[in-house]
Amino acid sequence: MENQEKLGLLARASSEPEQYFKELDFAVRAVQMACSLCRRVQDSLISKTGNDVQSKDDNSPVTVADWSVQATVSWVLSEAFGSNNVSIVAEEDVQTLSKVDSAGLLKAVVETVNKSLAEAPRFGLKAPELPLGTSEVLEAISRCNSNGGSTGRFWALDPVDGTLGFVRGDQYAIALALIENGEVTLGVLGCPNYPMRKEWLSYHHRYHRIVSKLTPPTSESWDKGCVIYARKGSGKTWMQPLLHINEKLVWPNSARPVRVSSIDNPSLATFCEPVEKANSSHSFTAGLAHSVGLRKQPLRVYSMVKYAAIARGDAEIFMKFARAGYKEKIWDHAAGVVIIQEAGGVVTDAGGRPLDFSKGIYLEGLDRGIIASAGAVLHDKIIRAVDASWDSSAL
């Protein structure tokens, strides 16, 4: 890595223990690079008819970006720490890409990965000496085959969280977390379409895209995007803007700390919930919001951008109550949990217990749902409201 002696994360907190600083540094750089990759693919995807969108067994759309990000992040981490020392739990596998009728998709993934890795020096990372071949890209993707668990160290990656938002030009996130002995030790969320002004979250994404084309690239426009990250126990969550074209990643000047909102009055609070109705109950959260005194319209946002919104103080509450039969996956929550906690917020299940990331790829033992709040006062009110309303919820 270039200027390794000047790692911003180390310089910024040189008086603190250096545990996980190297891991966090590489993770942030890898996610910054993944955000750049996703922006290119999303722009291309939206300008076409959607031919790049495939369907997985669970019918959720998958694009070139999913596999390309997974390959890119896997390659970066393996180069940084050695492939034998890197274990990754991730959403995608190589089965679809390996099919005969996926040759065109595989070719696009290989080209996208190599274009991204060629830019590595911009992000303070070393580029491969030669472009990766098809087998090397497939190997990087298939390396993400860990099943997690309660012992040892592994990374949890969701290459494109909120794929529906991605293909529609709306909100999505790249989520990367490091889990050691069942505990999340660091988390990084890349939010390429997260507007820098809170109020713009409520506008339709097509409006965002029109405005972005009319806004100078140096302004704090909606499409500037950001990466938010935290290390467990540091008491700090940081945010840095995404790089513009030809801009190099420099620390610590581009990063600033963020904190959760100080609002603890439910009538003034904003709550987030998933856009998709397939795996969450909007009716229950609406009734719950009313009973606890939440009067503002819910902020419905794709992906873990909801966690970023709370960490950054743009919203106060995130509630998700899955429909019967749906099991939450660790990569959908790990990075967001530590980011909110280090920003001063609280994340538990609906019974008030910490989320358990030690049981494999699923959040086993989850009590009813997940609640994230800007503070303990709001959190306690939500949990009590859930207890009072649950028997009549039909969930």
Which residues define the annotated binding site for Mg(2+)?
A: 91, 158, 161, 332
Catalytic site residue 380? no
SS3 178: strand
Peptide bond into 252 cis (omega under 30): yes
- Dihedral of CA atoms 116, 117, 118, 121 in degrees, nearest 10, equals 110
Name the token pair of 222: 């909606």
In angstroms, rounded to a whole number, what is the distance separating the alpha carbons of residues 161 and 305? 9
In angstroms, rounded to a whole number, what is the distance separating the alpha carbons of residues 332 and 362? 10
SS3 224: helix
Cβ atoms of residues 329 and 383 within 8 Å: no
Q: Which of 25, 52, 63, 66 is catalytic?
A: 66
In angstroms, rounded to a whole number, what is the distance separating the alpha carbons of residues 33 and 123? 7
Cβ atoms of residues 140 and 54 within 8 Å: no
Q: Which of 63, 72, 112, 163 is catalytic?
A: 163
SS3 123: helix
In angstroms, rounded to a whole number, what is the distance separating the alpha carbons of residues 392 and 152? 41
How are beta strands 299-300 and 271-273 bridged, if at all? Answer: parallel
Alpha helices in the chain (DSSP H): 8-12, 21-46, 64-81, 103-118, 134-142, 163-167, 205-214, 282-292, 305-311, 334-342, 376-389
Catalytic site residue 66? yes
In angstroms, rounded to a whole number, what is the distance separating the alpha carbons of residues 321 and 329? 14
Single out the residue of 289, 251, 290, 259 nearest to residue 273, CA to CA. Answer: 289
SS3 175: strand
Which residues participate in catalysis according to the annotation?
66, 163
